[in-house]
Amino acid sequence: MQLQHCYQLLGARPDWTIDEIKGAFRRQLLTVHPDQNPKDPLAVERTRQLLEAYRTVLRYASTSPRPCHADTSVAHQMNNISRQAQDPRQCWFSRASDLVFILTVVVLAVYLILNVLLSERGPVFRPNPSAFVTTEPVKELPIVAEPDITDTSIWYYTRRYQSTLGDEWLCEQAIEAYRHAAAQAAIVGDTHR
């Protein structure tokens, strides 16, 4: 299949970029696809021809000589051929600048790694075990006065509160129960409470 005929099938021009040709191929494919035209008996053949034309154009675009930038059009490439023949340093300079950048990054990485390994301090991220703070376990405090409610769950939670510094509301409830028991003992005159 001739290249000019391929461009006509795609609805594209030779000076278009690859992305523009791809867009034209997709538009044409949507118009001739058998799923879009189920009653057309030639839709399968047109789709096959369109796909073959697209592959031919892409093959030509990938093998054609390109300047430094791959996104330039074919017409722009043809206009720049004589200028590139006169000044080949343009492509060489861009490749050399990329190489210099990569070498700079590699040298910097090697320098940082050697600096970390050979410094007397050691790397900054190394943990210092002497700086770890050790804490003692929490001691249970002795309960000085226990009212006559030791069998209830409130007193159990009060002891738990004193050892683990838990719920304040529960402790207030236990204190209130203790005060009530002490007041009852004072009224009745019971000295054992």
Global pTM reads 0.35
Does 2 have pLDDT greater than 60?
Answer: yes
* Chain segment 58-95, per-residue pLDDT in tens: 888 877 765 444 445 555 565 555 555 556 666 777 78
CA-based torsion, 102, 108, 110, 113: positive or negative:
negative
Domains by residue range for the chain, with CATH = 3-86 (1.10.287.110), 137-193 (no CATH)
* Chain segment 15-30, per-residue pLDDT in tens: 888 888 889 988 988 8
- Per-residue confidence band for 13, with pLDDT thresholds at 50, 70 and 90: confident
Spatial contact of 76 and 17, defined as CB atoms under 8 Å apart = no
pLDDT of 69? 44
Helix (H), strand (E) at residue 24: helix 18-32
Residues 6+ apart with CB under 8 A from 133: none
